[in-house]
Structure 1
């Protein structure tokens, strides 16, 4: 005997109606959940992407001063000896400017034979040329900046420099990174709020954030930063905010 035979036609009709009601309720609930999921998905998918900028001017904390010169002699040995004496005199002069022996790094000496490009004879006392110099590396940035303006000091000691150039560096970037990233993020959120207000939406939670590279340049330009004592530190962040 089939299971349906145990029930009367009226009972079977009631069971069928109950099943239809339950099925309909299930479809309604499923439809509500699906609608909510789509709504939440669209809400999550809507976001504002902005960029935040932070700039800060700081002072260099390290300087590198390169001093180069040449000495001459009739023989390679004579040129080398003349160069050593000149180097000792140069180092003594630099120490008298307030620097320490630990700040001075000697550059290697190179010896060349001078050749007259016109085919004439080279002056015997300058037949051989020894070239080299020293590099002053120090955190005494102000002292280096002042010393580079006093070229007459070397001339008074009969030291003829072939080149004198200085480079300034800022090496403590980690000390300012946190506040600069915060400033860049705040700047990005301000931009997002302005954009959202104009669009009739509200800025929600942070979705993603990407840190850009830190750049170091001259305060008034994008290049030539190594020659200036003051540095402009710049970072740009890319941030996405959900909208409501």
Structure 2
């Protein structure tokens, strides 16, 4: 005997209706779960991308002072000897300005013959030229800045400086990185909140964050800065926030 024969036609119709209801309920539940999943997926897929900026002006902690000069003589040997004597005098003057001997790094001397470009006569005492100098590297930034203004001291001692070139550096970037990255991230979130408010959404969790390069420039410009004691440190971060 078949299983359906155990039930009356009325009972069979009721069971069929119940099965349809259960099937429909299952479709509704499945549809709800799918809709929820799609909604959550779209929620994760929607984000705001902004950039945060942080700038800070700091003082250089290292300085480099390049000094060079030349002397003239009748022979290459005399030119070399005269140059060495002048170099020792120049080093003594610089050390008297408050620097250490370990701060000085001598540069190679170059000795060459003077030639008159017009083919004219060159005085015997000026036939050979010795040229060179030294680089002073120190953490005494203020002392270098002040000493560079005293070129008359060298001139009074018979030393004619041909080149005086100073560069200032900031080398302790790691000490300010954490607070600058935080400031850049805070700036990015503020921009994201402004954008979200204008778009009628809310800023959610952080999705991704990318640190840009730190740049060092002059305080009032985006380039150069080698000759300025004060430096402008700048970093830009790219941040993505989910939206709600």
TM tier relative to shorter chain: over 0.9
1:27: which partner in 2?
Answer: 27
Distance (Å, rounded) in 1 between the aligned partners of 2:189 and 2:89: 59
Distance (Å, rounded) in 2 between the aligned partners of 1:148 and 1:84: 22
Distance (Å, rounded) in 2 between the aligned partners of 1:6 and 1:185: 71
Alpha-carbon distance, 1:201 to partner:
1.5
2:71: which partner in 1?
Answer: 71
Residues 1:212 and 2:197 are matched in the alignment: no
Residue deviations 1:10-54, cap 9 Å, x none? Answer: 476666555444433332222111100111111112221111111
1:53: which partner in 2?
Answer: 53
5+ residue gaps, structure 1: none
* Structural RMSD (CA): 1.6
Distance (Å, rounded) in 1 between the aligned partners of 2:194 and 2:231: 31
Q: How does 1:108-119 map to 2 (within 5 A)?
A: 108-119=108-119
Distance (Å, rounded) in 2 between the aligned partners of 1:68 and 1:219: 29
TM-score by length of 2: 0.93
Residue deviations 1:206-231, cap 9 Å, x none? Answer: 11111111110000111221000000
Alpha-carbon distance, 1:182 to partner:
0.4
Residue deviations 1:120-152, cap 9 Å, x none? Answer: 121111111111100000000000000001111
Distance (Å, rounded) in 2 between the aligned partners of 1:114 and 1:186: 63
Distance (Å, rounded) in 1 between the aligned partners of 2:170 and 2:75: 44
Residue deviations 1:70-114, cap 9 Å, x none? Answer: 122222111111111111111101100100001000001111111
Distance (Å, rounded) in 1 between the aligned partners of 2:28 and 2:125: 106
Distance (Å, rounded) in 1 between the aligned partners of 2:16 and 2:128: 115
Distance (Å, rounded) in 1 between the aligned partners of 2:94 and 2:3: 115
